[in-house]
């Protein structure tokens, strides 16, 4: 294998610099596999040559591309039962009452990876809340990986990805078969917009165009990879983009109790969620 432990340490440092991700680095073998698809696009002949390019005079954006390849996270449709049960039984009905006058909802999947979470939200809204069909509803998905955002925009998933969390009834209702893949139907695609964004940097233009005010934010399974100071920055910025009465959902292993000046914690349906105390 043309990839060493020193190469692994260098790439891990690069990821921290580019994304503030301090999670446990992947193994030598895993990193080698993740770098292989970048070799051809970079003009290198192999991973070893790619590493030399990274250390000397890399083409523009190559450092960012490599960091993004290392930060694509595990995801699936309707990942974890409790949060989506909470959304269906309480949070979405509450938002409908709260926003009935404006007839407008903005939902943010803040670490959307390859799009399954954002599309799961779209399916939930269309399948369970028909009264929203004539509302102005937009789901905004952001991820640090441009590759993941492009994958999400394509709305095309393999049989393996479809089989992870998506009931057959919903598959047949909201997806179209295309060879060996399944494509998200246009009805859902119109609800969802994907854009690259680093949560530790100023928001992208697309996010600013929505006024940065959201009724629901899903920031799941990403804070645990950040250092404490970056976690604090992300939560402050997230709070600033939420309407009063909005809700924030984190991952099962994450919490925001240390930020009681920003959020009030609530518990329902075996799931914690957070309300902004004030919009900063």
Would you kindly state where each structural domain of the chain is located, as residue ranges?
A: 5-70, 81-276
Within 167-204, where are the H helices?
168-174, 186-189
**What global pTM score does this model have?**
0.78
**220 in Cβ contact with 71 (< 8 Å):** no
pLDDT of residue 42: 77
SS3 156: strand
pLDDT of residue 163: 92
- Segment 159-175 shows an average pLDDT of 94
pLDDT of residue 280: 43
Distance CA 217, CA 208 (A): 15
208 or 183: whose pLDDT is higher?
183
| Topology of the domain covering 81-276 | Rossmann fold (3.40.50)
Between the alpha carbon of residue 234 and those of residues 107, 161, 207, 225, 259, the distances in Å are 17, 29, 15, 12, 11
pLDDT in tens, 12-50: 777 777 655 555 555 667 677 777 777 777 778 888 888
- Segment 139-166 shows an average pLDDT of 92
Give the pLDDT band of residue 60 (cuts 50, 70, 90): low
């Amino acid at each position: 294998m043309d990839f060493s432990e020193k190469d692994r340490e260098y790439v891990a440092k690069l990821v921290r610099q580019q994304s503030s991700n301090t999670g446990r680095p992947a193994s030598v073998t895993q990193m080698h596999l993740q770098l292989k698809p970048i070799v051809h696009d970079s003009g290198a002949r192999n991973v070893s040559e790619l590493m030399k390019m990274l250390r000397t005079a890399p083409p523009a954006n190559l450092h960012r591309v490599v960091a993004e390849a290392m930060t694509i996270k595990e995801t699936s449709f309707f990942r974890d039962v409790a949060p989506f049960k909470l959304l269906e039984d309480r949070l979405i009905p509450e938002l409908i009452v709260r926003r009935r006058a404006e007839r407008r909802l903005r939902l943010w999947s803040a670490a959307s990876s390859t799009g399954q979470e954002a599309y799961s939200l779209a399916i939930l809204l269309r399948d369970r809340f028909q009264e929203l069909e004539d509302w102005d509803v937009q789901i905004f998905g952001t991820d640090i990986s441009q590759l993941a955002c492009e994958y999400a925009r394509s709305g095309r998933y393999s049989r393996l990805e479809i089989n992870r969390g998506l009931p057959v009834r919903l598959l047949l209702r909201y997806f179209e078969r295309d060879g060996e893949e399944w494509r998200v139907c246009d009805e859902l695609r119109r609800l969802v917009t994907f854009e690259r964004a680093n949560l530790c940097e100023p928001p992208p233009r697309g996010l600013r165009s929505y006024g940065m005010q959201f009724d629901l934010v899903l920031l799941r399974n990403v804070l645990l990879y950040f250092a404490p100071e970056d976690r604090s920055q992300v939560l402050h910025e997230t709070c600033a983009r939420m309407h009063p009465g909005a809700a924030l959902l984190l991952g099962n292993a994450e919490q925001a109790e240390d930020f009681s000046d920003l959020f009030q914690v609530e518990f329902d349906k075996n799931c914690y969620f957070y309300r902004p105390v004030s919009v900063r």
